[in-house]
Amino acid sequence: MMRLAVYSFFLCLSLLFGHGALAQQTLRGRVREAETNRPVPDCEVYVRGSRSIVRTDSAGLFTLSKLPTGRVQLQFASLGHQPFKAEVNVTGSAEVQEFTLSRRDQALGEVVVAAPKTTFGQGRLREVEGTAIFAAKKSEVIVPDNIVANLATNNARQVYARVAGLNIWESDQGGLQLSIGGRGLDPNRTANFNVRQNNYDISADALGYPESYYTPPIEAIKRIQLVRGAASLQYGTQFGGLLNFELRQPEPDKTVSVTARQSVGSFGFFNSFNSVSGTVKGFSYYAFAQYKRGDGWRPNSHFDSKTAYADLRYQFTENFKVGAQVTHMDYLAQQPGGLSDEMFRENPRQSNRERNWFEVDWNLFNLNADWKLTPQSNLNLTAFGLRASRKSLGFRPSQVAADDNDRYLRDLITGDFRNYGVEARYLNRYQLGRLPSVLLVGARYYKGYNHSIQGFGPSGRGADFRFVGPEEGYSIQNGTSDYEFPNYNAAAFAENIIYFGDKLSITPGLRIEHIRTTADGSYGILFRDIPGNIYGRETFQEQRTSSRSFLIAGLGASYKPVENRELYANVSQNYRSITFSDMRITNPSSVIDPNLQDERGYSADLGLRGEQGRWLTYDLSLFALRYANRIGEITDYNSRTPSFRYRTNVGAALIVGVESYAEAELLRLRPAPAEAAPGPWAWSVFSNLSLIRGRYTESHVKDRLGNDLVSGREVEFVPAVNLKAGTRLGYGPLKASFQYTYLSDQYSDATNAREGGTSAVVGLIPAYHVMDVSVSWERRWLKLEGSINNLADAYYFSRRATGYPGPGILPSDGRSYFFTVQVKW
């Protein structure tokens, strides 16, 4: 009986499973796209309630096996298509069932790829940014938000402290004019750089008079970009390279954002900076207004300055946007005049000039458009213009110690500047054979018209900028001039990055220039007797035109053994046109060679730069700068007086040096777990050291005995040691910084005169050192800042001026205090 029961149990089981096996079915289907009726390959087909998942083949076909008879639910998933569900009746039929999916066309939201924010005060430009190539070039980027410094006064000593080798002239409290040079370049109004704002020219005349009387407020600047001599291929022929102020941009995520900064300081200083920004659909805007005033460290140094700026943009499509920008700046500054060496030693704060004034009115206009033609190519078009004027009025004898007397007429120089230009840039990423490459081509058209008049100003004390006749009073000036300077420039350039794998690239480039500069006008000479009475005058007409075309070339190379380390090298030809101030300005302390020629030469860099983790950034480089026809000034050329200056092509010069910069976040030396939150403490140190040697290798000028005047002498404006170092300490929202600056001796003329004589326009600029301290605290919408400039109250000077705002020694400011309150909402 037991055996019969077991046998009956297994018989029932076999009948049951046999019936189930007979009930299993197979389903065949095809998936098509509803809009195109094309097969959908690699579509996942899933049977709900089971683990059965299959994929469609290239014809959109799929097969599901071992399905139970009856209704089942299928789910379909395919990239680029809407999810789909369907119920089917499984009957075992061999017929292929049809299914369709709809395409999923969806505009994705903005994707922001973010890296940890760097706290370093200096960075570098990427190889390609927008429609510009910076591969293998010596470049620096200053981010004002990353430094603790006195921003209200545009304190260049602090703001540019991390840029190696810069020589900075300091002569006004408000930072109204920026005067930086480097590698032996004259810092006067940054005339040896191509100075731009948002990538368009802002100087008086990029060729005829490349001096910058306008400097954007540091509080409005997002980034400052510097590219050394190799930038001449893209931005023009200056030996210094590119200096570009990238202003803040509209807030993308707010309709309205307002920032208000109010600053007070020593010697009657006050600064009010206010900005508004936002985005409404495709329209975005940013605008600021600034008012600044002060009385200065020396008497007779009062200034009032106003600046306003508006940036309007409209995004028509994802690939096309346009923008317009307008800038206005005007200021009136009283100038205390220069000092002789003896006067400076007696009292550097003294002033014997009460009637010297300087007035500037600057207006900039810009229209720009950006097209993303394809994912690989971009086109940028920029049109820009300038309408500006500057007027200088004062008593400026060659003997700076001479007392000012109201009975003397003053010297008045006015300049009106009108220029406009268009630049087009096209950048394309393409394959050169099997090598990835980036091509940049561009063209520039530029036209300027400048009008300069020099004559007699009224004998009063006020800022009265009108011309009067010499008969109205006594004057030290024996001549007048009235000149027009029409200038024309057309240029085209090309640069190309060629990548040889992931590590090595080269960047050749060419630029062709056509320049025409003209001086057309007259100058007059007055003849006086011994008591000073005018007994005659003579007027001379003059017309000079210089038209030239030339080609300059450059080559760069970059090798990256690892992602965050780069060995770079570049060499580029340079060319600098003579300016209209070189062609004709009447100056009692200076005479200009009528046969003055353009400067030519080249610059080269070899460097190693990179980062080590998140705690160290560095850039160590060697450079060489060769002048074939350097313009300079010599003294005692014709033995009339020891203070006589003659401006001419003095000779050939070679400047070589080492420039180094390093900044370390010391508290990041010990690696922390990736998931660990940063601590409240931060401590960094930086060092910026340049060791430079500049010598004249040939002389084009001789003394009365026929001896070379400059061969073997040191190049002017080249301190052998240029050191800037500092530290920054932070705890949460509180940050403090300390900075030390040292420059060794430097000469102000090519003959290396050590004493300035009665005019003090030439002579040694002695070594000096200065210290600065700044502190800031920020909490949500409120920020407080304070600083002490020249902490040790050092008496020093960095400039001997040839004319305005001198002539003579211009002392730098002593110790001063500043405090800022910022509110942002």
For residue range 186-220, list pLDDT tens digits in order. 999 899 999 999 999 999 998 888 988 999 999 99
Residue 107 lies in a domain: no
State how far Cα 56 lies from the chain centre.
56
**CA atoms of 199 and 442, how far apart (whole Å):** 13
**CA atoms of 424 and 797, how far apart (whole Å):** 43
Are residues 263 and 236 located together in one domain of the fold?
Answer: no
Are residues 720 and 627 located together in one domain of the fold?
Answer: yes
* pLDDT value for 23: 56
**CA atoms of 20 and 26, how far apart (whole Å):** 14
Helix and strand counts by DSSP (H, E) for the chain: 5, 44
CATH number at residue 30: 2.60.40.1120
Q: pLDDT-based confidence at 805, cuts 50/70/90?
A: confident
- Strands 96-101 vs 24-33: parallel, antiparallel or unpaired: parallel
Are residues 183 and 320 located together in one domain of the fold?
Answer: no
Residue 3 in 3-state DSSP? helix
CATH number at residue 229: 2.170.130.10
More confident residue, 690 or 544: 690
What does the DSSP assignment read for 598-620?
A: -EEEEEEEEEEEEEETTTEEEEE
Are residues 281 and 293 located together in one domain of the fold?
Answer: yes
For residues 528 and 471, the answer to whether their CB atoms sit within 8 Å is no
Residue 113 lies in a domain: no
Is pLDDT at 703 greater than 80 in this prediction? no
Question: What is the end-to-end Cα distance of the chain in Å, rounded?
Answer: 94
Total of domains in the chain? 3
Section 31-44 average pLDDT: 88
Is pLDDT at 635 greater than 70 in this prediction? no
Q: pLDDT above 90 covers what percent of the chain?
A: 63
Is pLDDT at 3 greater than 50 in this prediction? no
* pLDDT value for 532: 61
Q: Which residues contact 46 (CB under 8 A, 6 or more apart)?
A: 52, 53, 74, 75, 76, 77
Q: pLDDT-based confidence at 590, cuts 50/70/90?
A: low
C-alpha distances (whole Å) from 674 to each of 6, 118, 120, 665 are 66, 16, 20, 17
Residue 296 lies in a domain: yes
Residue 3 lies in a domain: no
C-alpha distances (whole Å) from 474 to each of 245, 307, 400, 402 are 45, 38, 18, 15
For residues 81 and 33, the answer to whether their CB atoms sit within 8 Å is yes
Section 327-352 average pLDDT: 96
Q: Which residue range(s) make up the domain with 210?
A: 122-245
What does the DSSP assignment read for 240-295?
A: S-EEEEEE----SS-S-EEEEEEEEETTTEEEEEEEEEEEETTEEEEEEEEEEEE-
The last residue of a domain, from among 228, 245, 262: 245
Are residues 497 and 618 located together in one domain of the fold?
Answer: yes
Task: Identify each DSSP E strand in 577-680 by its residue range.
Answer: 590-592, 599-612, 616-635, 645-665
Residue 140: which of 579, 660, 747 has the closest Cα?
A: 660
Residue 280 lies in a domain: yes
Are residues 238 and 251 located together in one domain of the fold?
Answer: no
For residues 363 and 385, the answer to whether their CB atoms sit within 8 Å is no
**CA atoms of 86 and 810, how far apart (whole Å):** 87
Written as one letter, the residue type at 514 is H
The last residue of a domain, from among 43, 70, 101: 101
The last residue of a domain, from among 245, 269, 297: 245
Residue-wise pLDDT tens digits, 342-390? 999 999 999 999 999 999 999 999 999 999 999 899 999 999 999 999 9
Residue 20 in 3-state DSSP? helix
Are residues 75 and 139 located together in one domain of the fold?
Answer: no
Residue 778: which of 736, 728, 738, 816 has the closest Cα?
A: 736
Tokens of 130: 């927008």
Q: pLDDT-based confidence at 72, cuts 50/70/90?
A: confident
CATH number at residue 528: 2.40.170.20
Window from 15-24, 345-354, 688-697 with minimum mean pLDDT: 15-24
Q: Which residues contact 749 (CB under 8 A, 6 or more apart)?
A: 632, 633, 634, 635, 645, 716, 762, 763
* pLDDT value for 7: 39
Top-ranked range on mean pLDDT: pick from 13-27, 489-503, 620-634: 489-503
Task: Identify each DSSP E strand in 198-256 by its residue range.
Answer: 200-201, 221-227, 242-247
Sheet-wide strand order for 242-247: 122-123, 139-142, 221-227, 242-247, 194-197, 200-201
Residue 14 lies in a domain: no
Are residues 163 and 33 located together in one domain of the fold?
Answer: no
Are residues 276 and 419 located together in one domain of the fold?
Answer: yes
* pLDDT value for 4: 39
For residues 290 and 217, the answer to whether their CB atoms sit within 8 Å is yes
Residue 555: which of 232, 242, 192 has the closest Cα?
A: 232
**CA atoms of 57 and 44, how far apart (whole Å):** 10
Is pLDDT at 743 greater than 90 in this prediction? yes
Residue 615 lies in a domain: yes
Tokens of 609: 């730069």
For residues 607 and 576, the answer to whether their CB atoms sit within 8 Å is no
**Length reported for the chain:** 825
For residues 411 and 397, the answer to whether their CB atoms sit within 8 Å is no
DSSP state at residue 109: P
State how far Cα 339 lies from the chain centre.
33
What does the DSSP assignment read for 42-102?
A: T-EEEETTS--EEE--TTSEEEEEEEESEEEEEEEE-TTB--EEEEEEE----PEEEEEE-
Section 557-563 average pLDDT: 93
On the 0-12 / 13-18 / 19+ scale of CB atoms within 10 A, 563 is exposed
- Strands 599-612 vs 565-576: parallel, antiparallel or unpaired: antiparallel
* pLDDT value for 584: 60
25 CB neighbour count, 10 Å cutoff = 16
Are residues 266 and 237 located together in one domain of the fold?
Answer: no
Average pLDDT, the chain: 88
**CA atoms of 171 and 455, how far apart (whole Å):** 26
Section 431-445 average pLDDT: 93
204 CB neighbour count, 10 Å cutoff = 28
Section 536-558 average pLDDT: 89
Are residues 152 and 268 located together in one domain of the fold?
Answer: no
Which helix or strand (DSSP H or E) is residue 159 part of?
A: helix 156-159
Which helix or strand (DSSP H or E) is residue 331 part of?
A: strand 320-334
Residue 1 lies in a domain: no
Are residues 350 and 444 located together in one domain of the fold?
Answer: yes
Section 572-588 average pLDDT: 73
Residue owning tokens 């940049």: 440
For residues 277 and 252, the answer to whether their CB atoms sit within 8 Å is no
